[in-house]
Amino acid sequence: MTIFGSDMPMPVPDIDDAPFWAAAAQRRLVFQRCTSCGAHRHPPAPVCPTCQSTGSDWSEAPARGELFSYTVTHVAPHAALRGHTPYVVALVRFPAFDDVRLVTNIVGSAPDHLKIGAAVELFWELVGTESYLPRFRIVGDETAE
Amino acid sequence: MGSSRAHGSPACIVGVGESDYAKWGAIVDQSELGMALAAVMAAVRDAGLKSSQLDGFASYSNDANLPAQMQLALGMPMLRHASMVWGGGGGGLLGAVAHAAAAVEGGYASCVAVFRAIAQGQQGRLGKGGKSGPTYNATAPFGLLIPAQQAALMMRRHFHEHGTTPDTLAEIAMVCRENAQSNPRALMRGRPLDQAAYFAARMISDPLRLFDCCLESDAAAAVIVTTADRARDLPVVPVEILAAAAGGGPRWGMGFLGGHNMPVASYSHGNAAELGTELFARAGAGPRDIDVAQFYDAFTPMVVQALGDYGFCTHDEVATFVASGALRRDGALPINTAGGSLSEAYVHGANLLVELVRQLRGNAVNQVAGARLGFIAGGPGVAPTSAAILARSAA
């Protein structure tokens, strides 16, 4: 059971972010890291904003991050979201990775249990037949349903 | 990019105009190009000019009405300036004014129309997804698809960091609605909004409720920019462009329209702090000198961001400042005095520019007594964002 409808927009990887999505297909959350200065960046981009180097590799993020901000969306801005509202769009921050933030969803928590700064844990949701999207749960909270 | 008085005659706004304003889809007998032309021709008439005296256009947000079409329709013998500010939404509003000012002050053109036309019924409504690339991939699959959600993420963080509350947003929505009640052009005239009605409206994307979101309109608006020297021959009170600028600070990237990796410390702000400091310095004025202001208000949080970034108060003071009634017509900083994008019409802020000029001429519908120095902010949270400081000419 996916949290959204089956015809949700899917990532269409391009030259810059293909490695991110290739790792996601293997259920690995990776962020782009500059091979010159070591700074992480997201979304993927061809040049390091810290040192302007073009070299990069991909490092696997920890399974836990921190809730940086969120919004509980009550409208369905896409047809695939009808019947799936309200849903939570969140920014998860990874302090050990230069504070990169990932746009994602929090699943399984009642809205009043969402708190900025809360510890959140990664899980992978199968969408379609072979794609995975990274989503998160509040650590120690299962208040929805 | 900005205006400067170092070289010759300073740039002024000498005409304002608009098309009919209507709810999106309601204008069915005039094309979007026709609306753009109607606004420009109204502004030309207002200035006491003929359209053949125009020789330039400046716009923003990828306006679809091309200078080539406009020149042809208006019978302009020469086109000398045609410029577009990158970026969607209202971020580039005052960037277009800066382009026009630079063009006339630099002698590249003599009389430039700054315009924006939006026929949402004809061109499709705003706020619908449909792009590609890493930014789209990083947001759309997670259901982050519309600007209301993007603004909501920033506002939630602003609540957390700076103590703003839903009451702050309610007051901004109510101020704009109240100002619309005496404006015959305002689409929300006759529909007053009190706090109970604000909070009773449906939630769009928490903490943004329905009335935190702007109207969707068919509308066009324009102003005419020329030099003070040329303005002396015209039958209008010129409004001087003291400073206009478009840009943004470090590491902002696509801002709230992108992957939301702006700097942590300023994530909930509007990417206008650095720009604002330069702008006020160039104008030789400070936020406390401003008599009347227009803040781009596609969403109420944008007013919060601009208040803090441009230094009308600190971000920590926004809640108290707004709650004090400062933004009302009799307050310390009257804003969006014709109703703004929230309650007059949504033209990516071009109507806010028209209103500020009227205020400084002294003939606005909700005239702020003695208004001499005015401020206007384009859409924050993006790059370029933009702002301008305008002054009623002393003469």
Show the 3-state SS of B258-307: CCCCCCHHHCCCCCCHHHHHHHHHHHCCCHHHCCEEEECCCEHHHHHHHH
Asked if B145 is an interface residue toward chain A (Cβ–Cβ < 8 A), one would say yes
Q: In this predicted structure, what is the pLDDT of residue B168?
A: 98
Q: Within a domain: residue B94? A: yes
- Nearest residue on chain B to A99, alpha-carbon basis: B264
pLDDT over 70, % of chain A:
98
CB-nearest partner of B146 from A77, A100, A133:
A77
- Nearest residue on chain A to B160, alpha-carbon basis: A116
Q: Which residues is B246 bridged to in the sheet?
A: B386
What is the nearest CA distance from B150 to chain A, expressed in angstroms? Answer: 9
Q: In this predicted structure, what is the pLDDT of residue B3?
A: 45
* pLDDT surpasses 50 at B2: no
Q: Is B87 left (phi over 0), alpha (psi -120 to 50) or beta?
A: left
Q: Which two tokens stand for residue B228?
A: 């003070």
Cβ contact B371:B291 at 8 Å = yes
What's the CATH code, domain A62-145? 2.40.50
**Mutant choice from A52, A71, A75, A94 vs B, greatest count of B C-beta within 10 A:** A71
Per-residue pLDDT tens over the stretch A55-71: 999 999 999 999 999 99
Catalytic positions of B, written as ranges? 296, 346
Per-residue pLDDT tens over the stretch A4-54: 998 999 999 999 999 999 999 999 999 999 999 999 999 999 999 999 999
**Contact assignment for B142 to A69 by CB distance below 8 Å:** no
**Contact assignment for B141 to A42 by CB distance below 8 Å:** no
What is the nearest CA distance from B268 to chain A, expressed in angstroms? Answer: 10
Q: Within a domain: residue B153? A: no
Q: Which two tokens stand for residue B63?
A: 């306006």
Looking at every residue in chain B, the average pLDDT score rounds to 95
Q: In this predicted structure, what is the pLDDT of residue A144?
A: 63
Q: In this predicted structure, what is the pLDDT of residue B133?
A: 84
Per-residue pLDDT tens over the stretch B8-45: 799 999 999 999 999 999 999 999 999 999 999 999 99
* pLDDT surpasses 70 at B159: yes
Q: Where in chain A is the domain with CATH 2.40.50?
A: 62-145
**Mutant choice from A67, A73, A125 vs B, greatest count of B C-beta within 10 A:** A73
Question: How many Å apart are CA A49 and CA A33, to the nearest integer?
Answer: 11
What CATH code is carried by the domain that includes residue B370?
3.40.47.10
Q: In this predicted structure, what is the pLDDT of residue B302?
A: 98
**Contact assignment for B204 to A14 by CB distance below 8 Å:** no
ipTM of the predicted assembly exceeds 0.85: yes
* pLDDT surpasses 80 at B342: yes
**Contact assignment for A75 to B204 by CB distance below 8 Å:** yes
Question: How many Å apart are CA B207 and CA B209, to the nearest integer?
Answer: 6
pLDDT band for B394, please (50, 70, 90 cuts): confident
- Chain A residues touching B145 at Cβ < 8 A: 9, 77-78
Size of interface A-B (CB pairs under 8 A): 128
Q: In this predicted structure, what is the pLDDT of residue B129?
A: 46
Q: Within a domain: residue B148? A: no
**Contact assignment for B153 to A70 by CB distance below 8 Å:** yes
Q: In this predicted structure, what is the pLDDT of residue B126?
A: 56
Residues 71-130 of A with CB under 8 A from B: 71-75, 77-78, 81, 86-87, 89, 91, 93, 99-105, 111, 116, 127
What is the nearest CA distance from A114 to chain B, expressed in angstroms? Answer: 11
Q: In this predicted structure, what is the pLDDT of residue B4?
A: 45
What is the nearest CA distance from B229 to chain A, expressed in angstroms? Answer: 45
Per-residue pLDDT tens over the stretch B72-113: 999 999 999 999 999 888 999 999 999 999 999 999 999 999
- Chain A residues touching B129 at Cβ < 8 A: 9, 77-78
Q: In this predicted structure, what is the pLDDT of residue B122?
A: 81
Asked if B75 is an interface residue toward chain A (Cβ–Cβ < 8 A), one would say no
- Chain A residues touching B207 at Cβ < 8 A: 71
B56 residue type, one letter: G
Q: Within a domain: residue B187? A: no
pLDDT band for A87, please (50, 70, 90 cuts): very high
Angstrom distances, CA of residue B150 to CA of A97, B154, B162, B250: 23, 7, 18, 20
Residues 38-77 of A with CB under 8 A from B: 41-45, 49, 68-75, 77
- Nearest residue on chain A to B134, alpha-carbon basis: A17
Overall number of domains in chain B: 1
pLDDT over 70, % of chain B:
96
The whole domain housing B280 covers: 11-123+214-390
Per-residue pLDDT tens over the stretch B216-274: 999 999 999 999 999 999 999 999 999 999 999 999 998 888 999 999 999 999 999 99
Q: In this predicted structure, what is the pLDDT of residue A6?
A: 87
**Mutant choice from A69, A109, A133 vs B, greatest count of B C-beta within 10 A:** A69
Q: In this predicted structure, what is the pLDDT of residue B7?
A: 55
Angle between helix axes B300-309 and B147-162 (nearest 10 degrees) is 50
Please tell me the pTM assigned to this model: 0.96
Per-residue pLDDT tens over the stretch B349-358: 999 999 999 9
Q: Within a domain: residue B236? A: yes
Give the pairing of strands B22-23 and B217-227: antiparallel
Q: Which two tokens stand for residue B114?
A: 């700054």
* pLDDT surpasses 90 at B6: no
Report the residue count for chain B: 395
Q: In this predicted structure, what is the pLDDT of residue B125?
A: 60
Cβ contact B380:B305 at 8 Å = yes
**Contact assignment for B153 to A91 by CB distance below 8 Å:** yes
Radius of gyration, alpha carbons of chain A: 16
Q: Within a domain: residue B140? A: no
What is the nearest CA distance from B167 to chain A, expressed in angstroms? Answer: 17
pLDDT band for B128, please (50, 70, 90 cuts): very low
Asked if A17 is an interface residue toward chain B (Cβ–Cβ < 8 A), one would say yes
**Contact assignment for A116 to B157 by CB distance below 8 Å:** yes
CB-nearest partner of A71 from B133, B136, B149:
B149
- Mean pLDDT, residues B379-389: 96
Cβ contact B169:B322 at 8 Å = no
For B22, half-sphere exposure in the C-beta direction (CA atoms, 13 angstrom radius) is 16
Q: Within a domain: residue B188? A: no
What is the CB neighbour count within 10 angstroms for residue A113?
14
Q: Within a domain: residue B194? A: no
Per-residue pLDDT tens over the stretch B273-303: 999 999 999 999 999 999 999 999 999 999 9
